[in-house]
Chains A and B, each alone.
Chain A
Amino acid sequence: MRSSALKLLRTVREQVSVSADFYIGMAIALLLLPLPWLCAWLLSSAVHELCHYLALCCCGCRVSAIHISLKGAFMETDRLSLGNEAFCAYAGPVGAAVLLLFAKQLPRTAVCVLMQSAYNLIPVFPLDGGRGLGCLLKRQFGEETGKRIFSIIEAFTLLLIFLLAAYSVIKLGLGLLPAAIAVIFVVRHKKINIPCKKKRLGLQ
């Protein structure tokens, strides 16, 4: 029992890495947010990622590493089929929705789960909703056609987000925060790829 616990601890230490920006983000969140809400958000995030992990295990996939950062948890896995990838992508937000059943006992966690699942189901890559939808479309219509359809849906969604932000700022008078959130969302999820720098060859 003790040896299996030690083995599990060693596996977790080898596989799981936490980036520095996560700690910085948590420190800022501790300053700005009430502690019960922060704990609720952490719990909902942990359940969300656990559902992804369990789905990957169910698909018989090996998770070689987990990187936790402020953007979320990234799991390095073997290659998945399109159907399995869609299943694993949707498992997070849908699986975490189980916590809604315990809304009376954990109301803050239920609210965090609702917001997190709704956010992750937005059909924009690399969010779970975008990833799952992209895989399903490729599976149904083929690689090229599926990618094209997904691009149209993604562009429409981003346009909708901007219109919603503009409506919130101008009509509802919610300040600049909705516009800032929309800009951060687009910059974060649709960042431009920088070409790799040329590496120096070392000759001996």
Chain B
Amino acid sequence: MAYQMQYGNDEMLRTFQAQKKRPKKKAVLVFLIIVIVLGLLFAPGVREQLIPGDAEVTKQAADDMILRIRSGERVVDAFAQFCLEIIENS
């Protein structure tokens, strides 16, 4: 005796239910990490502990490095000089 199984027309619902829950948990975790990191970076006092030194001096050192490279200095030398300026500033 032959029989036939017929499924209802709710394939889309079954597809959504069959999807793993893990990507949603991962998205929530990533979002929390981002919020914590941004909060730490911009919270007063914590940022200075993590990255000491003046941001303006770092920016100026980076601009000087770009100028030195454009004037023909070797990339390695210019980067080394940039690192030395950062260390002196800290």
A68 within 8 A of B: no
Tell whether A110 pairs with B30 under 8 Å between CB atoms, given A172-B90, A176-B50. no
A174: which B residues are within 8 A, CB to CB?
52, 86-87, 90
A114: which B residues are within 8 A, CB to CB?
75-76, 79
B66 touches A108 (CB 8 A): yes
Residues from 1 to 53 in B contacting A, C-beta threshold 8 Å: 27, 30, 34, 38, 41, 48-53
Which of A107, A172, A177 is B50 in contact with, Cβ under 8 Å?
A177
Bound-state CA distance A163–B41 (Å) is: 25
A79 within 8 A of B: no
A20 touches B27 (CB 8 A): yes
A180 within 8 A of B: yes
Which of A20, A24, A103 is B75 in contact with, Cβ under 8 Å?
A103
A107 touches B69 (CB 8 A): yes
- Main SS class of interface, B: helix
B41: which A residues are within 8 A, CB to CB?
32
Bound-state CA distance A21–B31 (Å) is: 10
B90 touches A173 (CB 8 A): yes
Kindly provide the distance from the CB of A102 to the nearest chain B CB, expressed in whole angstroms: 11
A13 within 8 A of B: no
Residues from 92 to 145 in A contacting B, C-beta threshold 8 Å: 100, 103-104, 107-108, 110-111, 114-115
Annotate A133-174 by CB proximity to B: 1 below 8 A, 0 otherwise: 000000000000000000000000000000000000000111
Residues from 10 to 58 in A contacting B, C-beta threshold 8 Å: 20-21, 24, 28, 32
Annotate B50-78 by CB proximity to A: 1 below 8 A, 0 otherwise: 11110000000000011001101001101
A24 touches B34 (CB 8 A): yes
A175 within 8 A of B: yes
B49: which A residues are within 8 A, CB to CB?
175-176
A24 touches B30 (CB 8 A): yes
B30 touches A21 (CB 8 A): yes
Bound-state CA distance A70–B50 (Å) is: 22
Bound-state CA distance A196–B72 (Å) is: 54
B53: which A residues are within 8 A, CB to CB?
175
Bound-state CA distance A172–B87 (Å) is: 7
Taking A114-B75, A114-B79 as given, write out 13 further A-B residue pairs in contact, using a Cβ cutoff of 8 Å, ordered by the A residue number: A32-B41, A107-B66, A107-B69, A111-B69, A114-B76, A115-B79, A172-B87, A173-B90, A174-B52, A175-B49, A175-B50, A175-B53, A177-B50
